[in-house]
Structure 1
Amino acid sequence: MRDENCIFCKIIAGEIPSNTIYEDDDFKVILDVSPASKGHALILPKNHVADIFTIDEDVAAKAMKLAKKLATHMKEVLHCDGFNILQNNGEVAGQTVFHFHMHLIPRYKNAKNDDMILWNHLEFTPEELAEIRDELK
């Protein structure tokens, strides 16, 4: 399955060049053209699916297994000090290409771009947390 207007589908099909670091029947992994760090890569499922809400559970599981395998390999080869594995869903969450993908971002101590991915922490009362918990059960 492919979306003719999707840049990642075009990369997977070889219509747009990429720096591929891994490929199998289900995934293509490329270096990000606008990286957050040395080695920043993207795991792209070969079949077009927009996000976590629509991806097949087996494909999602394979993507996480591949992320572990590649992160381990990249840490050994690139000698990074830490790792972010990031996956955005929806525009409000920072998704800019609506083809499911996972970011593999090696992190290095004292690097030029060593800031972590952070967010402002909210505070909830114990009662509010209990209400949220009950809604989610």
Structure 2
Amino acid sequence: MEEQEIILKNENCMFLQVPQEVLIGSGLIVPIVHRENLFDLTEDEWNSTFSLLQEVKTLLDERYNPDGYNVGWNSQPAGGQHIMHAHLHVIPRFKDEPFAGKGIRYWIKDTKNKRV
């Protein structure tokens, strides 16, 4: 696993990145104190996450000039959470990507995902 670098940090959370070949500029906002998922965050952690998200957007806008963003949480294994420590995905998106315009619901809404 590649080393994660702390890019930005405040009193309750930090923005981490690892070098990315596909999702250029993407990273995770994670609480400093272990919280299993987003529903375990304290009000202060929520507020700090929001505040840091604004700083992250400013930084990514300056560095990469994306055309949009996907921002989201996965919670519990059925929701796609594979690391059991709360983390908010921040993914810059670009209009020249093959999947540009496909949001986080794109695959979830596929008829192959219908419950039997």
Is the TM-score greater than 0.5? Answer: yes
Cα distance, 1:35 vs structure 2 = 6.6
Partner of 1:30: 16
8 A contact 1:83–1:105 mirrored in 2: yes
The letter for the 1-side match of 2:91 is I
8 A contact 1:20–1:29 mirrored in 2: yes
Partner of 1:129: none
2: CA distance, partners of 1:79 / 1:64: 20
Residue 75 of structure 1 aligns to a residue whose secondary structure is helix
Change (3 A) 1:87 1:64: same
Provide TM-score, normalisation by structure 1: 0.67
Cα distance, 1:25 vs structure 2 = 3.2
1: CA distance, partners of 2:71 / 2:22: 12
More strand by share: 2
2:109 to 120, 133, 136: 120
Provide TM-score, normalisation by structure 2: 0.77
Aligned-pair identity (%): 25
2: CA distance, partners of 1:33 / 1:94: 22
Cα distance, 1:45 vs structure 2 = 1.0
Larger Rg belongs to: 1
Q: Post-superposition, which runs of at least 4 consecutive aligned residues in structure 1 deviate over 4 A?
A: 32-36
Q: CA RMSD in A?
A: 2.6
8 A contact 1:49–1:100 mirrored in 2: yes
The letter for the 2-side match of 1:47 is V
- The 5 Å alignment of 1:75-90 reads 75-90=61-76
Gaps of 5+ in 2: 111-116
1: CA distance, partners of 2:3 / 2:96: 32
Gaps of 5+ in 1: 1-15, 122-137
Cα distance, 1:20 vs structure 2 = 2.2
- Length, aligned pairs only: 108
Residue deviations 1:1-40, cap 9 Å, x none?
A: xxxxxxxxxxxxxxx8322211233222111466751101
8 A contact 1:37–1:113 mirrored in 2: no
- The 5 Å alignment of 1:22-101 reads 22-32=8-18, 37-101=23-87
